[in-house]
Amino acid sequence: MREQTKSGESKSVAKPAPDASRRSEKSRRAIYAAALELVGEAGYAKTTIEGIAARAGVGKQTIYRWWSSKADVLMEAFLDLAEQTSEQAGGVPVDHALPDTGDLAADLKLVLRATVDELLDPRFEVPSRALAAEGVADEALGREFFTKLLEPSLMLYVQRLRAAQDAGDLRPGVDPRIALELFVSPLAQRWLQHTGPLTHAYTDTLVDYALYGIASRPSSGSAP
């Protein structure tokens, strides 16, 4: 590029070099979006690296430079999506801790309400259902997705429940890893199998039942 000097002479002006990091981030985002769209439309088995590359407008070499397989692409794309939708819904990103206000029930209800909002977000729901279905059919893939996508989030519940134990809000003998299933598993089942509506009232009830039980309590005057 050339520009005029005050004397009327022209001189060459160096053109700024393109920002490679910005270009790479734009491509990465396009690949995330393409992968999630395709798995939601066609299912995991029919989603290919070639298809992802074509929809994202990049070469296959670009994808293979960053990931070794479509499973790796999808897991990273899904983690990114979960982070975005969780933050927008007021939830907790996977690398953070659950809130600890000192009120265990309130903290769990807050996070589970945000989880419902996330599960009902079409951007999250469509690809996650496709991946969940494939994980049932492909045991190895199911384990990989559980380990990399679900287990880190579940461990946040474990940490919060252990903190509650330390504060005396849970019995010392309770296993937090089993206890979290009292409210997480019914929510997942209802979402996967469409057995009922997903609402904040439903998750609040799960927390109440899990923390306070469902058996009637003896009156204060009853014999032990």
The CATH number, out of the four listed (1.10.357.10, 3.90.470.10, 3.40.50.1820, 1.10.3720.10), of the domain defined by the range 69-212: 1.10.357.10
Question: What's the pLDDT at 131?
Answer: 79
Query: What pLDDT score does 19 carry?
Result: 45
pLDDT of the residue at 84: 73
- Rounded CA separation 44/42 (Å): 7
Q: What is the pTM of this model?
A: 0.73
Residue-wise pLDDT tens digits, 144-177: 888 888 888 899 999 999 999 999 999 999 999 9
- Rounded to whole angstroms, the Cα distance separating 64 from 141 reads 19
Domain coordinates in residue numbering, the chain: 69-212
Dist CA 127 CA 40 (whole Å): 4
CB atoms within 10 A of CB 43: 15
Transcribe the chain into DSSP letters.
-EEE-TTS-EEE-PPPPP-HHHHHHHHHHHHHHHHHHHHHHH-TTT--HHHHHHHHT--HHHHHHH-SSHHHHHHHHHHHHHHHHHHHTT---TTSPPP-SS-HHHHHHHHHHHHHHHHT-HHHHHHHHHHHHHHHH-HHHHHHHIIIIIHHHHHHHHHHHHHHHHTTSS-TT--HHHHTHHHHHHHHHHHHHT-S---HHHHHHHHHHHHH-SSPPPPTTS--
Residue ranges for the chain with pLDDT beneath 50: 16-21, 93-95, 222-224
Structure tokens at 191: 């979402």
Query: Residue 73: how many CA atoms within 13 Å on its side-chain side?
Result: 33
121/10 Cα distance (integer angstroms): 57
Give the pLDDT of residue 17: 47
